[in-house]
Structure 1
Amino acid sequence: MTEGLETDVEGMADVAERRDELAARVRTHAGEIARELAVFQGGDYGQQAFQTDAGTWTIKYEAGDVQYLRFEPKSGDETYVVSSKQPPEPEALETAMADYGAFVAAYNEYVRSFEGLLADVPEEFPEIESTAELVAERDRILERIREVGNAMASELYRYEGEYGTYATTVNGSRWELKFDGDTASYLRVGGSDGVYLISQYGPPPATEVRRLADDVAAFVESFNDHVDDLEADLSTVSLDGDR
């Protein structure tokens, strides 16, 4: 009954150590391929598959380092030769490593297939037209619109208080001037998703300035009519109640 208990148990430490050493060397070597692919493909992460006579090798990389190297033989189970999890079984690793050289050869052939890819790409390009003059003209017009907006804001501030808005419709679009004190905070055309002719942010495109500039005069005229109406209303008020 105790015969088996007296038999020595063969250790697996040597095999495991050899497996771990081999897996570490493969990770380092495959890491070089991962870095080359990351540089060539221009991304922080990605993957590439390579075909050999024995199967398919897929290398996945991230931040220039190998995430995994998977071997899928034409028959049998796949093996993660390199992974972030546990190392492969020694027998599976041995099977995969028998084809590792073919994988590297397939990678090298992949690289060589791009030789001369950029040989005929031109290095000289047409001169770039400057937008400086157009931008200067746009900014000059916007500065004039801002001056008008501030003048309107000053009048609104005197009549309506510290802050508020004045809005009207010009040629089917809503124009809204918001004021804070005697300064225009913004002049927006077209509602909440519209174009800001005046704002604390960057200027609108020159095309939008061209489209809307002709309507600024109509906006000012509408504002003046608004002020005239207010004055007319106030003129009918008497402190003694007479009208």
Structure 2
Amino acid sequence: MTEGLEADVEETDAIAERRDELAARVRTHAGEIARELAVLQGGDYGQETFTTDAGSWTLKYEAGDVQYLRFDPQSGADIYVVSSKHPPEPEPLERAMADYSAFVEAYNEYVRSFDGLLTDVADEFPAVESTAELVAERDRIVDRVRDVCDAMASQLHRYDGTYGTYATTISGTRWELKWEEDRASYLRVGGSDGVYLLSQYGPPAAPEVRRLADDVSAFVADFNDHVAALEADLEGVSFADV
């Protein structure tokens, strides 16, 4: 009854050690492929599949390191040669490693397929047109708008307090001037989602300036009519005179 208990138990330490050593070497080697793929494909993460006669190999990488290397044989279960979990069993690892050199050659052929790809790509391009003149003209117009709005702000400050807003409708669109003391904080055209002809963040795009600049005089004229209607001792402002 005790004969089985007296039999020697085969140890697996040597097999496991060899398995772990081989898996570590594969991870290091496949890591080189992962880094090369990341450089080639221009991203920190991705995956690529390579086909061999015995099956296919899928390498997934992230931040230049292997996430997993999976061998899908033509028959049988998938084998994760490298993974974030545990190494494969010795027998599946042996089966996969029999095709590993073919995987590396498939990768090398993939890289070689790009040889000469960029040889005939032009690296000389047309001159880029400068926007300096357009921007200078845009800024000149916006500065003129700033001058007249500051003049309006000064009058509003005298009459209506330290800060506030003056709004009216020009050509069917709401124009709103906000002032603080003697300076315009913003001039907004078109409501809360409109265009800021003046703001603390910078000038609007040149096409918007072109679209709205012609109505500035009408805005100022409307303001002057507002002042006259109040019969207050405020000085009228002319866009042309500022």
**TM-score normalised by L of structure 1:** 0.91
Identity of aligned residues (%): 77
SS for the counterpart of 1:72 is strand
Q: Does 1:172 align with 2:172?
A: yes
In the other structure, the counterpart of 1:41 is: 41
In the other structure, the counterpart of 2:101 is: 101
Q: Does 1:203 align with 2:196?
A: no
In the other structure, the counterpart of 2:227 is: 227
| Superposed structure 1 runs of 4+ greater than 4 Å apart | none
Residue 119 of structure 1 and its aligned partner are, at CA, apart by 0.9
RCO higher in structure (CA 8 A, sep ≥6): 2
| CA distance in structure 1 between the aligned counterparts of 2:71 and 2:171, rounded to whole angstroms | 68
| CA distance in structure 2 between the aligned counterparts of 1:163 and 1:6, rounded to whole angstroms | 99
For this pair of structures, how many residues does the alignment match? 234
Amino acid at match of 1:154: S
Amino acid at match of 1:32: E
| CA distance in structure 1 between the aligned counterparts of 2:104 and 2:187, rounded to whole angstroms | 64
SS for the counterpart of 1:200 is coil
In the other structure, the counterpart of 1:132 is: 132
SS for the counterpart of 1:10 is coil
| CA distance in structure 1 between the aligned counterparts of 2:101 and 2:21, rounded to whole angstroms | 18
For 1:1-243, list aligned pairs within 5 A. 1-231=1-231
| CA distance in structure 2 between the aligned counterparts of 1:80 and 1:168, rounded to whole angstroms | 71
Residue 133 of structure 1 and its aligned partner are, at CA, apart by 0.7
Residue 220 of structure 1 and its aligned partner are, at CA, apart by 1.1
Q: Which runs of 5+ in 2 are unaligned?
A: 235-242
SS for the counterpart of 1:192 is helix
CA gap 1:7/1:135 in 2 versus in 1, 3 angstroms: same
| CA distance in structure 2 between the aligned counterparts of 1:3 and 1:163, rounded to whole angstroms | 102
Residue 188 of structure 1 and its aligned partner are, at CA, apart by 1.2
Amino acid at match of 2:210: R
Residue 229 of structure 1 and its aligned partner are, at CA, apart by 2.2
Listed one character per residue, the Cα deviations across residues 182-241 of structure 1 (whole Å, up to 9, x for unaligned) are 221111112222211111113211111111111111111122222222226x9xxxxxxx
CA gap 1:2/1:153 in 2 versus in 1, 3 angstroms: farther
Q: Which runs of 5+ in 1 are unaligned?
A: 235-243
Residue 57 of structure 1 and its aligned partner are, at CA, apart by 0.9
Question: What do you get for the CA RMSD once the two structures are aligned?
Answer: 1.7
